[in-house]
Structure 1
Amino acid sequence: MSLKAHVARSTLWSGVQIIGNQATSFLVFLVLTHFLSPGDIGVVALAVSFIEIMTPLMRAGLPEALIQRETLDELEADTCFWSGVALSLVMGAALFLAAPAIARSFASPALGPVLQALSALLPITALSATHEGRLTRSFGFKALAVRTLIANLIGGAVGVAMAIGGYGVWSLVVQRLIASFFSVVFIWISCRWVPRLRFSMVAFRRMSGFGAHMTLVTFLMSLNGRIFDFLLGFFMGPAAVGYMRVASRVLDMVTQFAVNPLTSVALPTLSRLQQDRPALSRAFIRLVRTSALMTFPAYFGLAIVAPDLVPLAFGRQWAASGELLSILCLSAIPITLQYFTWPAMAAVGRSDQASLGISAIVASATVITAIAAPFGLIAVVIAHVARTYLTLPLSMYLLRRSTGIESRPVLTAILHPLAAAVVMGLALLLLRPLLHDLHPTTRVAVLIVAGAALYGGLVLTTARALVKDLKTAFSRS
């Protein structure tokens, strides 16, 4: 099978994995929002934020180093596994002990026990990190998809049952723990690789040269995604975090569907082409263009329907989150591009450049949020969107410097999807007031159908070459 066919097939299975994961986790979250207050949701979001920013440090970039290698070394794989297990135990214990102090610093007593319970996710996750890396480098996304779907169905079922039974915050905590446990079980069954009890300091140093920068990149990316939770929790309290979490959770779900099936295959795909820069550039452009084709209409359409959609799904008490979501969706362009710049840099061994760019992004996010926080939650979100556009030129410059990929062909590749999505968004914006007398459910349905029909027609009539290229790629899978 050709690399292009591998990418297409892996993208499809990655999509299955993401849809299953998002559907079950979003269902649990949706149920919880009807049982919990914004403050309760904020507490869970803060606890999860600590886990997510510590996970890259626990992985130390070693599974990513296995993926990036042109050939797989079994000694490196064993070293990767045992390093991850040791680091996870140390970091999990440290987080467990520090949880009470963290809860006091955020003036949220409920945060402590939730954070202590979720600290177990670090060693649980470490048990599957190397297996996941082995499957990823061999494009084993079908196995990854099946195990994620089954594990999340089990965890989701338990979480929903507990929420209905009145267990509140702990419903989401238990759901995450159970899903992670069964994920480990199923990935060991799928991979059928058992690590040998051996460790090589030479192999560790060899991988950590790449992994150190990759760790910094993934850590900063996680911090960038969660910096608002920390700063909002510090400046405004858990309730503000809760409103932001509902808005960002909906956007995350859309991003997972539209972007992540492609970003999940970006590193192994581009790594295979690291010695052929013209082919690397073509593959990068194809990934970005395909992502834009799905991301732009999803984001722009969501911006229009969010004020109706969020109260319908979560309840009237979350109407403020709908306003926040509409603003967040305006960051479609930089999000689409930046999701692929960092894997491209890592694929050619220049994760140091990626860490430089993300450091600037995190620093700017911290400064802008701290400045905007006294003016309210809306001001913080507007500042966040503005910051994504202001830092985009730096990301594109570092991409060209690291990989030789020029900005102009990348931007040209997204023009057709962008133009079609903008026209669709403007049309829906004009149509929405005309539907004012309809029930919100009917109004959302009409807007979605109209937007999909208009965007699909525009793409089919103005970007036939793009559609033909995509059809050819997936028909070979």
Structure 2
Amino acid sequence: MSDLAIKTKKGLQWSAIERILTQGMQLGITLLLGRLLGPIAFGLIGMLAVFIAIANVFVDSGFTSALIRKTDRTNNDLVTAFYYNIAISSLCYLVLYCSAPYIADFYQQAELKSLLRVLGLTVLINAFILIPRMQLTVAMDFKTQAKISVISVLVSGVTATMLAINGYGVWALVVQTLLNACCNLLLFTLFFPWLPRGKITKTSFTYLFGFGSKLLLSGLLDVIYNNLYQIIIGKKFSPAVVGQFTQANQLASVPAATLTGIIQRVTYPMFSQLQDDPMKMENAYRLTLKIAAVVIFPLIIGLGLIAQPLLTLLLGAQWQVAASLLSVLCFGYMLYPIHAINLNLLQVTGRSDLFLKLEVLKKIIGVAVLLVTIPFGVFIMCLGLSVVSYLALFLNTYYTGKITQLSQWQQCKDLFPIWLAVILCAALAYSAGVYSQAVPWLQLLINVTVALLSYAFYLLFMQKPLLLQLRTFLRS
């Protein structure tokens, strides 16, 4: 096995461990806090999410992706990116601090002023972590990142739970986010001490900004669009409704983001090292698509299948609206890891211009769908969000087909049988448990059992070659 294959395998293993452990713990803590705090607290934080996310996009500005892609990166490149991150994060926090009163007035929620000013400190803290995290990612050292993430989530989660129990309300969520960032910074300093050695150069900045600026614009579009629903729901409805949507969206996005992160963090540096051999890169891309689909599709759709009994058991009747929204959102989120693989290929081939063009086009379509669905309420808005995900897949595969020998038809042909099997298995499982809705634990048991058995049957009889490929890779 080649050195790249060994590094990829180890990277995939530890990336999976890190993402699954941290996101699993985070999901469990979120569910516990949801039961303790209720929808309003999550709604208030959800109203601020877009502003923190936009600031973080500016701080990174696509420099991380540019550094990973640059195989001959120098200390000057790292130093230039580091001081840029610090300067922009300071500016972003100043903007957040000054705009906090106006944001509170926009939502007509006075408490948001102080919440944003404290929560915004995470933007400053995260800026110091970007370069060390990038270096570990290039080295595919996800073992160290796993240790850092697990400890940070555990410390911040336990602290937030204790604060919630003692009546601190929404501030428990603020402290959780802030403490997680502080723990990350401390642990990166201990496990991977790095000091800037070099100087800021115009050459480094020109390359980093030239490549990263297009990713910055596409990232801004993506963040604003992804949080547009919370902005509109927050303005049009109550914080409780925002909380229901935020919880549903988070429960759907956490497993999707976890699995996307595992694949994306490994495949981006892997594709980058294969960029000089288009045939190998295309074969790796196609195999990655199929393996991702066969693993991720059933997990995300399975979550949507059991949303109603699961949330009833874990969170209580106050979160029933979130359960309905979660089922719809999972239908769209199942494709997110596939989107990430598509877009990784565009970045690796240097087509950040095409990446930006694609993001603009998808956001125009998404906003149009959003405007059409707003009058019909939150449920139809979520349905529209899922529809946009499928339109995005069509566009992504079209453009990746333009820069490779893999046509859009070939990519969809690889994915469609797996997608159809997952949907049919979920429909069968739902039908089997429909008469047990009065007993949530029984419905949950029936849904899971039927879904697992039917999907296992499909894999053994219809996807055996793919399973053998996966087994060979894991054992070799």
TM, length-normalised to structure 2: 0.95
Deviating more after overlay: 27-36 vs 380-389 = 27-36
Distance verdict in 2 for CA 1:365–1:234, change over 3 Å = farther
Deviating more after overlay: 210-219 vs 385-394 = 385-394
1:107 aligns with 2:111: no
Instruction: Tell me how far 1:356 sits from its aligned partner.
Output: 1.4
- 1:81-100 matches, cutoff 5 A: 81-100=82-101
Q: Where do 5+ consecutive residues of structure 2 fail to align? A: none
Instruction: Tell me how far 1:132 sits from its aligned partner.
Output: 0.7
The separation in 2 between residues aligned to 1:450 and 1:258, in whole angstroms, is 24
Residue 462 of structure 1 aligns with which residue? 462
- Are the aligned partners of 1:270 and 1:280 in contact in 2 as well (CA < 8 Å)? yes
The separation in 1 between residues aligned to 2:406 and 2:186, in whole angstroms, is 40
1:230 aligns with 2:231: yes
- 1:237-256 matches, cutoff 5 A: 237-256=238-257
The CA deviation string for residues 251-308 of structure 1, in whole angstroms up to 9 with x for no partner, is 1222134433112212111111122222221111122111111221122222221121
- 1:181-192 matches, cutoff 5 A: 181-192=182-193
> How much identity, in percent, do the aligned residues show?
23
- Are the aligned partners of 2:305 and 2:327 in contact in 1 as well (CA < 8 Å)? yes
1:325 aligns with 2:326: yes
Residue 220 of structure 2 aligns with which residue? 219
Deviating more after overlay: 192-201 vs 421-430 = 192-201
Instruction: Tell me how far 1:131 sits from its aligned partner.
Output: 0.7
The CA deviation string for residues 34-74 of structure 1, in whole angstroms up to 9 with x for no partner, is 23342321111122221112211111111211111112311
Residue 47 of structure 1 aligns with which residue? 48
Instruction: Tell me how far 1:223 sits from its aligned partner.
Output: 2.5
Instruction: Tell me how far 1:336 sits from its aligned partner.
Output: 4.0
Q: Where do 5+ consecutive residues of structure 1 fail to align? A: none
Residue 412 of structure 1 aligns with which residue? 413
The separation in 2 between residues aligned to 1:231 and 1:286, in whole angstroms, is 39
The CA deviation string for residues 182-203 of structure 1, in whole angstroms up to 9 with x for no partner, is 1112223333321126311221
- 1:18-417 matches, cutoff 5 A: 18-196=19-197, 198-332=199-333, 334-417=335-418
Secondary structure of residue in 2 paired with 1:349? coil
The separation in 2 between residues aligned to 1:152 and 1:389, in whole angstroms, is 33
Deviating more after overlay: 86-95 vs 365-374 = 365-374
The letter for the 1-side match of 2:77 is E
The letter for the 2-side match of 1:109 is A
The separation in 1 between residues aligned to 2:221 and 2:17, in whole angstroms, is 27
- Are the aligned partners of 1:93 and 1:119 in contact in 2 as well (CA < 8 Å)? no
The separation in 1 between residues aligned to 2:371 and 2:19, in whole angstroms, is 33
The separation in 2 between residues aligned to 1:223 and 1:401, in whole angstroms, is 28
The letter for the 2-side match of 1:188 is T
The letter for the 1-side match of 2:88 is L
The CA deviation string for residues 380-432 of structure 1, in whole angstroms up to 9 with x for no partner, is 11221222223332222222234454222322322443243123112112201
- Are the aligned partners of 1:223 and 1:362 in contact in 2 as well (CA < 8 Å)? no
Secondary structure of residue in 1 paired with 2:128? helix
The separation in 2 between residues aligned to 1:323 and 1:93, in whole angstroms, is 39
